[in-house]
Amino acid sequence: MIKNLNFLFVTFFGIGTIRYAPGTVTSLITTVFLFSLFHIIDLSNNFILIFLLVILILSFPAVKMYIEGNENKDPQEVVIDEVIGQSIPIYLYEVSHGTEKIFGEAILFYIYIFILFRFFDIKKPYPINLIEKKFRNNFGVIFDDIISGFYVVFTLIIFMTIKSKFF
């Protein structure tokens, strides 16, 4: 039973088992899910933060258990790392805007965040590529997506700074 629950968790309820682009599908579902929590259901930022931290904390032992004895140390079906990485820039975008939530602007930023995250997660620029190669364990599986999430944050900060200075 524990193995089954662990499998559901690391594959994000089986989404990781789909044949084509499971990471992209998971990132898209995460984006839509978080948009719903923030803008439709309107949950508090603190509640969502606790929810995301629980996922992060549980992901380390769950991924470790899943890849133990597995020759592939970063199996395609493990997509909980995409949930974590995609959540970082979305959460930080939302808390940086306080209580002011403009629906149309949020949709655009969610699209930007989704595209940028997938770009960084697929291309794996330095040091993401180094972490993925050096750490062939649960830390490497999860942390490369965390860094990809922060690359998105830095990219958006640069974009917004340039936009505010010149446009």
Alpha-helix runs per DSSP H in 97-137: 103-123, 128-134
**CB 132 within 8 Å of CB 144:** yes
* Gyration radius from the chain CA atoms: 16
**CB 136 within 8 Å of CB 63:** no
pLDDT tens string 44-64: 999 999 999 999 999 999 999
pLDDT tens string 9-43: 999 999 999 999 999 999 999 999 999 999 999 89
CA distance 2 to 59: 14
Contacts 24+ apart (CB under 8 A), 38-46: 38/90, 38/94, 38/101, 38/106, 39/101, 39/103, 39/106, 45/91, 45/94, 45/95
CA distance 127 to 131: 6
The gap between the terminal CA atoms of the chain, to the nearest Å, is 56
pLDDT tens string 73-101: 778 999 999 999 999 999 999 998 766 66
Residue 93: per-residue pLDDT: 94
Domain that holds residue 75: 2-166
* Number of structural domains found in the chain: 1
Of 25, 162, 135, 27, nearest to 83 (Cα)?
Answer: 27
| pLDDT over threshold 90, residue 113 | yes
Residue 127: per-residue pLDDT: 87
Q: Is the peptide bond before 22 cis (omega within 30 degrees of 0)?
A: no
Predicted TM-score of the model (pTM) = 0.92
Residue 103: per-residue pLDDT: 82
pLDDT tens string 130-152: 887 888 888 989 999 999 999 99
